[in-house]
């Protein structure tokens, strides 16, 4: 089963039609009409290779999944993942609904014991309605709470509480987002967020 999934994954990565879908989307499609159908088609393809995508998920071009057969990657509805995301698939990666994930974000689920170099794998969770800026690195075992904003270039080493605006290296909560919050998901749907 693992070998089959690996083969499917490799095929999926190489397929020219995946490149075509990526190019079409990158050319400016959105989650409406043909864009929504395109996103659904791509999500279906990704499901064959270990992703669990809910409805209206789009993973942009260049995504890399290490070890496609190891962990599991769950992406909630109406979530958009920017270009060249890196999913280190040693343990579960969970991204909630309505999130915007910027380009070049790295989800790391494995580290090494600093004395023995033994591998330690821990899941990563991103709560619903978060915005993760470009080029963020999320370390193993971290949970980012509901409705957080993580600034570009941050390295997230510890859990981030719900509703935080956090940034820096290491990433620290700087202030709280006042509620209620009115924001849009990747599909353009307006949501009202309360505690």
| CB 152 to ligand COA: min, Å | 4
SS (H, E, C) 40-109: HHHHHHHHHCCEEECCCCEECCCCEEECCCCCCEEECCCCEECCCCEEECCCCEEECCCCEECCCCEECC
Site string for ligand COA, 96-135 (x = CB under 6 A): ----x-x------------------------------xx-
The reply on whether position 35 binds ligand COA by CB under 6 A is no
The reply on whether position 167 binds ligand COA by CB under 6 A is yes
Pairwise CA distance, residues 119 & 61, whole Å: 29
Question: Considering only residues 157, 168, 172, 183, which one is a binding residue for ligand COA as defined by CB under 6 A?
Answer: 168
**Exposure of 121 by Cβ count < 10 A (0-12 exposed, 13-18 middle, 19+ buried)?**
middle
Relative to beta strand 86-88, strand 106-107 is parallel
Q: Residue 112 catalytic?
A: yes
Residue number, 45 or 82, with CB nearest to ligand COA: 82
Q: Residue 19: enclosing H or E segment and its boundaries? A: helix 16-26
Residue number, 70 or 157, with CB nearest to ligand COA: 157
Residues 142-161 that bind ligand COA (CB under 6 A): 149, 151-153
Residues identified as active-site? 112
Q: Which residues bind ligand COA (CB under 6 A)?
A: 100, 102, 133-134, 149, 151-153, 165, 167-168
């Amino acid at each position: 089963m693992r070998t089959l999934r690996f083969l499917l994954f490799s095929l999926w990565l190489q397929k020219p039609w995946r490149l075509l879908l990526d190019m079409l989307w990158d050319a400016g499609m959105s989650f409406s009409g043909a864009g929504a159908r395109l996103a659904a088609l791509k999500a279906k393809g990704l499901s064959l290779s270990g992703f669990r995508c809910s409805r209206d998920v789009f993973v942009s071009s260049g995504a890399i999944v290490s070890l496609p057969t190891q962990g599991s990657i769950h992406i909630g509805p109406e979530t958009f993942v920017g270009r060249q995301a890196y999913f280190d698939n040693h343990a579960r990666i969970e991204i909630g609904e309505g999130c915007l994930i910027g380009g070049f974000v790295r989800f790391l689920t494995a580290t090494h014991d600093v004395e023995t170099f033994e591998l330690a794998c821990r899941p990563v969770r991103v709560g619903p309605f978060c915005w993760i800026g470009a080029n963020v690195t999320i370390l193993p075992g971290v949970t980012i709470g509901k409705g957080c904003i993580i600034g570009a270039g941050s390295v997230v080493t510890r859990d981030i509480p719900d509703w935080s605006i956090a940034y820096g290296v290491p990433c620290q909560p700087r202030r709280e987002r006042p509620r209620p919050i009115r924001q849009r998901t990747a599909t353009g749907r307006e949501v009202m967020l309360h505690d």
